[in-house]
């Protein structure tokens, strides 16, 4: 099968620990490349770099966003910090050329392992949220051609939002600071541990539900992959509980179609600035 | 004033981005150096390295633990990734010599800023837990000289645990996966943003309250400092909600004496292995 995400995160070896990549314009939102897509791309390069070690799966990845990632070519550099045991740890960064100079976009640390060893026996977990059936949820797409050009990635996501927390789309946020819904990739590529790095940053920011529309730049995101997802619709929940000094944290949990928690993440993001008044 | 923590996290410049340090044996627990103390040490080196940039405070720090930190000398290396704006981002690592070779103990990424700009107006936050008065809580100390030698850091912490979640100490864990209490440093050094990096890993692990005593090695810890703490007793809460495949996450929140949330962290840790049967 040939899926959009696999084309978008393909890596080409380019020397020790180095991989050439192309950030696909199809994963842009509002001029920048979606952070989750960029993390899946970094994650795929790390997976390639560690191929010989029997540690194929991201267990933990912590990314710091240094400058906005742009569509187009880039170079991923992976540096091995510890290999040879049950887990491998690396540093990884994405660099793009800008005005003739290399500029670091994202830098991250990651630990990889094998999610099948030990098998993911679940002793306790946060239960998945009760959601209306997929067909009763809200499809996150734009109808206008202009909006679709600004956020082409929405055509790649099969997000269905819980209507209880979708009122912000019509100016009526719930105020709870929650966004939740069903998620799959539009072309039904099965979710795997690398794709989960995308899923944790695929829904609209929880700040929308606080009545704060606009771009909420991520300063830092740490994802933990806790299990290999079963096929089918995943459930995703974003929530923020601490908003202060122009920043908020966004916690994300992802459950697979069997209801097992397979990923969790926390990001620290900047609150959107109030829109400037428009000059007619 | 001359406080133990300040002596323990002192750094001596040793070349570009490099700092000589001494890991104080007073912060050992069970043979290894406490992770929170090591993070405060790294955080202090970053603060020194960034002195010229007006970004004195840790905002976010993500650490990966590569090998057990030992008491004794070490070298902290800070690499500037982005400086010059309202926030500075660095990578930082702690190296110690072992059998004549340099071995990386901890590697981290961190973003620093100024917690006073913008001022920490709180729009929403997790409320602090209701705790019994300090004098009705359980002091986490050992009486026996042997136990005190194994965990001398407890003499440096002024931890008072909520009795509702301290039953594990007498073989009766609550099963909730919660540890909470009051915290200050024993010599009453005021808490500041650097000390908060210690506080987020200062309580016993939440796994104790699941009836799993023993060392729970941290794979990864990300801390967010959300405000400058007011003087006095802080409240700290650890909780785990997802335990699977031999791993658990531990979320930590810290509130200052005014009840404001000033730090939060999440770590991914390994469940303690069942103790080997003792041979008489």
* Of the partner residues A64, A242, A266, the one whose CB lies closest to the CB of residue B124: A242
Query: Residue A61's closest chain B neighbor by CA?
Result: B220
Calculated CA dihedral for residues A164, A168, A169, A170, nearest 10 degrees: 100
Cβ–Cβ contact B177 with A under 8 A: yes
Say if the Cβ atoms of A222 and B222 lie within 8 Å.
Answer: yes
What are the beta bridge partners of residue B161?
Answer: B138, B181
- A69: closest CA of chain B, how far (Å): 15
- Is A138 exposed, middle or buried, given 0-12, 13-18 or 19+ CB atoms closer than 10 A? middle
Q: Could you tell me how many residues make up chain A?
A: 280
Contacts of A114 (CB under 8 A, 6+ apart): A54, A55, A56, A57, A86
Residues of A in contact with B266 (CB under 8 A): 222, 224, 266
Say if the Cβ atoms of B244 and A89 lie within 8 Å.
Answer: no
pLDDT band at B246 (very low <50, low <70, confident <90, very high): very high
pLDDT band at B280 (very low <50, low <70, confident <90, very high): very low
- CB pairs < 8 Å spanning A and B: 147
Cβ–Cβ contact A87 with B under 8 A: yes
Return the number of other C-beta atoms located less than 10 Å from residue B82's C-beta: 17
Per-residue pLDDT for B278 more than 50? Answer: no
Question: For position B151, what pLDDT does the model report?
Answer: 78
**A211 Rama class: left (phi>0) / alpha (psi -120 to 50) / beta:** left
Average pLDDT across chain B, whole number: 93
Please give the Cα distance from B165 to B160 (Å, whole number): 11
SS3 of residue A231 by DSSP? coil
Please give the Cα distance from B193 to B110 (Å, whole number): 13
Average pLDDT on B227-256 reads 97
Residues of A in contact with B247 (CB under 8 A): 59, 226
C-alpha to C-alpha distances, A195 to A118, A184, A191, A222, nearest whole angstrom = 21, 10, 5, 15
Please give the Cα distance from B139 to B8 (Å, whole number): 23
Cβ–Cβ contact B220 with A under 8 A: yes
Return the number of other C-beta atoms located less than 10 Å from residue A273's C-beta: 11
Per-residue pLDDT for B275 more than 60? Answer: no
Average pLDDT on B168-176 reads 94
* Of the partner residues A241, A246, A261, the one whose CB lies closest to the CB of residue B118: A246
Q: Which of B62, B95, B207, B211 should be substituted to probe chain A, the one whose Cβ sees the most A Cβ atoms within 10 Å?
A: B62
pLDDT band at B154 (very low <50, low <70, confident <90, very high): confident
Residue A178 and residue A165 in contact, taking contact as beta carbons nearer than 8 Å: yes
Please give the Cα distance from B214 to B195 (Å, whole number): 25
The predicted model scores a pTM of 0.95
| Nearest Cα to Cα of residue B261 among B222, B221, B220, B230 | B230
| Nearest Cα to Cα of residue A185 among A204, A199, A200 | A199
Q: Where are the alpha helices (DSSP H) in chain B?
A: 4-8, 35-49, 145-150, 193-199
Structure letter (DSSP) for residue A130: P
Cβ–Cβ contact A245 with B under 8 A: yes
Residues of B in contact with A249 (CB under 8 A): 224, 264
Please give the Cα distance from B177 to A124 (Å, whole number): 10
Q: Which of A42, A62, A253 should be substituted to probe chain B, the one whose Cβ sees the most B Cβ atoms within 10 Å?
A: A62
Please give the Cα distance from B166 to B148 (Å, whole number): 19
C-alpha to C-alpha distances, B90 to A61, B65, B128, B228, nearest whole angstrom = 17, 17, 32, 21
User: Which is more confidently placed, B148 or B1?
Assistant: B148
SS3 of residue A168 by DSSP? helix
Say if the Cβ atoms of A81 and B125 lie within 8 Å.
Answer: no
Say if the Cβ atoms of B243 and A125 lie within 8 Å.
Answer: yes
- Is B127 exposed, middle or buried, given 0-12, 13-18 or 19+ CB atoms closer than 10 A? exposed
DSSP B28-70: EETTEE-HHHHHHHHHHHHHHHTGGGT--EEEEEEEEE-S---
Residue B165 and residue B180 in contact, taking contact as beta carbons nearer than 8 Å: yes
Helices (H) and strands (E) in chain A, counts: 4, 17
Interface of B with A in 104-133 (CB under 8 A): 104, 107-109, 111, 115, 118-126
Average pLDDT on B248-252 reads 98
What are the beta bridge partners of residue A160?
Answer: A139, A182
Question: For position B148, what pLDDT does the model report?
Answer: 77
Say if the Cβ atoms of A245 and B120 lie within 8 Å.
Answer: yes
Per-residue pLDDT for B276 more than 70? Answer: no
Contacts of B61 (CB under 8 A, 6+ apart): B39, B42, B43, B108, B109, B110, B111, B197, B222, B223
Return the number of other C-beta atoms located less than 10 Å from residue B275's C-beta: 8
Interface of B with A in 4-43 (CB under 8 A): none
SS3 of residue A59 by DSSP? strand
* pLDDT tens, N- to C-terminus, chain A (280 residues): 699 999 999 999 999 999 999 999 999 887 789 999 999 999 999 999 999 999 999 999 999 999 999 999 999 999 999 999 999 999 999 999 999 999 999 999 999 999 998 877 899 999 999 999 999 999 877 667 777 777 788 889 999 999 999 999 899 999 999 999 999 999 999 999 999 999 999 999 999 999 998 889 999 999 999 999 999 999 999 999 999 999 999 999 999 999 999 999 999 999 987 654 433 3
Query: Residue B266's closest chain A neighbor by CA?
Result: A266
Say if the Cβ atoms of B227 and A249 lie within 8 Å.
Answer: no
* Of the partner residues A64, A111, A266, the one whose CB lies closest to the CB of residue B111: A64
Say if the Cβ atoms of B82 and A91 lie within 8 Å.
Answer: no
Say if the Cβ atoms of B109 and A224 lie within 8 Å.
Answer: no
Hunting for tokens 């000059």 — which residue is that?
A: A279
């Amino acid at each position: 099968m040939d899926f959009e995400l696999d084309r978008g995160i393909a890596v080409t070896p380019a020397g020790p620990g180095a991989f050439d990549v192309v950030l696909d314009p199809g994963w842009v939102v509002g001029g920048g490349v979606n952070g989750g897509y960029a993390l899946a791309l970094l994650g795929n390069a790390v997976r390639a770099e560690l191929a010989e070690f029997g540690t194929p799966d991201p267990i933990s990845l912590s990314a710091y966003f240094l400058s906005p990632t742009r569509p187009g070519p880039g170079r991923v550099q992976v540096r091995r910090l510890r290999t040879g045991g049950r887990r491998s740890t690396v540093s990884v960064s994405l660099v793009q050329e800008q005005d003739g100079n290399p500029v670091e976009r994202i830098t991250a640390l990651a630990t990889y392992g094998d999610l099948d060893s030990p098998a993911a026996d679940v002793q306790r977990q946060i239960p998945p949220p009760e959601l209306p059936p997929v067909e009763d949820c809200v499809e996150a797409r734009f109808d206008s051609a202009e909006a679709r050009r600004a956020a082409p990635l929405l055509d790649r996501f099969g997000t269905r939002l819980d209507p209880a927390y979708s009122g912000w789309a019509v100016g009526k946020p719930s105020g709870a600071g929650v966004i939740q819904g069903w998620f799959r990739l539009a072309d039904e590529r099965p979710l795997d541990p690398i794709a989960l790095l995308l899923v944790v940053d695929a829904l609209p920011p929880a700040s929308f539900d606080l009545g704060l529309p606009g771009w909420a730049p991520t300063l830092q995101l740490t994802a933990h992959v806790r299990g290999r997802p079963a096929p089918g619709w995943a459930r995703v929940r974003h929530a923020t509980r601490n908003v202060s000094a122009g920043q908020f944290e966004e916690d994300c949990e992802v459950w697979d179609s069997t209801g097992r928690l397979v990923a969790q993440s926390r990001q620290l993001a900047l609150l959107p600035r109030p829109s400037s008044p428009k000059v007619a």
